[in-house]
Amino acid sequence: MSRICFPELPSLAPDPSRRRFVRGLALGGVMFGLAPLSRLAKASPVQVSPAVLRGTNFNLDIADTPVNFTGRPAIATAINGQVPAPILHWREGDTVTINVTNRMNVSASIHWHGILLPADMDGVPGLSYPGIAPGETFRYRFKVQQAGTYWYHSHTGFQEQTGMYGAIVIEPREPEQFPGDRDYVVLLSDWTDTDPEMVFDNLKKMSSYYSQTEPTVPELFAAAGREGFAKAWQERMRWNRMRMSPRDLSDVTGYTYTYLTNGMPPEGNWTGLFKRGEKVRLRFINGSAMTYFDVRIPGLKMTVVAADGQNVDPVSIDEFRIAVAETLDVIVSPSDDRAYTIFAQAIDRSGYAAGTLAPREGLRAETPPMDPVPSLSMADMGMDMSKMAGMTAAGKQGTQPMTGMKSMGGNQTVPINFHYPTEYGPSNTNRIEVASTALDDPGAGLRHNGRRVLNYADLHTIGGPIDLREPERAIELHLTGNMERYMWSFNGVPYSQAKPILFHYGERLRIILVNDTMMNHPIHLHGMWSEIETAEGHFQVRKHVVNVRPAQRISYRVSADARGRWAYHCHLLYHMDVGMFRAVVVA
């Protein structure tokens, strides 16, 4: 969890004019070679897609590399001179060897996200190994036990934010269940020219530093016209008394971020080619540090065939929200000989990533306007007691922690909710009154928008659960935070003060997460699958990242089948760094 230091770069204050400039910027990202910045500023921009490396033996070099995503030069943490890093193609059942050489003057690491492997190959400094020191080479070697779409990234400091991430595509041993005529990785990410240490410091000084969508006086009068002044004023005052904002959807936004598709800003126009009538498989990966994307391809239905690398029963949709670190495979079948826009708008509507599907190079379709900025409701904050259907009451201060499930007759169960005493300190400012257990809610900004939007209730992993045993015990964790002071934790306890969570080797566990904050959190358990279940305890879908909506209670089963020390954390990079992280020990 130690940070690295970056060269001092000038700060980028939120600047709408920069956003307009970036939207019109037709360039790719990486400038190859280590030319001085003075030369780099005069260099011609190039468009590149990540290289594809296949086989069982790989050599990856980590180095500081000049880039230009926004019209101004910067330094990225690149692998083999590329941002994103090369796409690694493996085959299920093979043993892969990856030699990673650190050519920087600071420590580095690579974590193989979602990959089942020995703990000492997982790539988390301080847990599974010390990291890769400057000038050293570390050899990763493990057997590939799965197939599907995954990714890899640094687990050191803020290197993931500065460009150290790439895709993994694993070919199944058996024939692909959902083959496509074309197959493309679509890796979404967020880039800032600002030193991430400065971004972090800005958030600590003022958590709304990058937010430009706070409710305005004209919006108050517009709400008054719809609902009456008394109701609109009362709602605004409730938020003010809580010292919270209904627009706190993202900590870091498009006012400093440029959103990339396979390393290209929107006007770079990354293009995947097709012939009319072909099936095109798109492997979406959210490799962002902090950004949730809402993704659609106007004019095309998408058929979801895999989530987090695992095949699911196909489901036809118009749009999906992809949390940070999730992967989602879809198949599209363009019937017209024209271009289509892959449109991925940030959850807070402060910007978007975009690419193109086209029958030939040089084409592009119209980019749709962004949707209105979503606003959270009191129900999203777990404070609307009138909406008890499908929700469970939370306990009061001082209630003793309880675990397990309360039987309601038949197969119906209701999780018991409570708040830990540690949640009542300065590191946590909200404790929900009611928690939604619904899996069919797509979240703020996507409800009732006229499009068929994917949700977790739609996803059913083919083959069912890995382990048919009932859980032997349950562990409940609350996602907690103080947005104003920018503090994030589990149960009100940051990582620096927390003890490891113990899993007994071989046991079947139920993990219950309750989100007491007003933000989505993508929770990632290393080394083991997380099998999401319904509120009644029925298996739903296998994931390596579990997104938890504001005021949501969600449970999943874990088989503790991998000995060692594992990371467990929110995959929002700055949340993880500040304390929403735990060590899990399987022994």
What is the distance of C-alpha 139 from the center of its chain? 27
Enter the tokens of residue 440. 């069919």
Euclidean distance between CA atoms 527 and 541, whole angstroms: 17
Burial class (CB in 10 A: 0-12, 13-18, 19+), 561: middle
pLDDT at 381: 66
pLDDT at 27: 39
pLDDT at 243: 57
Max Cα-Cα span within the chain: 72
pLDDT at 16: 41
Contact 193, 293 (CB under 8 A): no
Nearest alpha carbon to residue 424 among 473, 480, 376, 340: 480
> In which residue ranges of the chain is pLDDT below 70?
1-48, 214-225, 229, 231-247, 378-379, 381-417
pTM above 0.85, yes or no: yes
Euclidean distance between CA atoms 235 and 188, whole angstroms: 36
pLDDT at 433: 84
pLDDT at 76: 97
pLDDT at 484: 87
Euclidean distance between CA atoms 50 and 167, whole angstroms: 9
Nearest alpha carbon to residue 311 among 449, 461, 190: 461
Q: Name, in order, each residue with C-beta under 8 angstroms of 578's C-beta and a sequence gap of 6 or more.
A: 200, 486, 487, 488, 494
Q: How confident is the model over 539-563, as pLDDT tens digits?
A: 999 999 999 999 999 999 999 999 9
Cis before residue 196, ω within 30 degrees of 0? no
pLDDT at 44: 29
Cα angle, residue 82 at apex, residues 78 and 88 outer, rounded to 5°:
100
Euclidean distance between CA atoms 531 and 263, whole angstroms: 32
Enter the tokens of residue 396. 């009061």
pLDDT at 554: 97
Q: How confident is the model over 26-55, as pLDDT tens digits?
A: 334 444 333 333 333 333 233 357 899 999
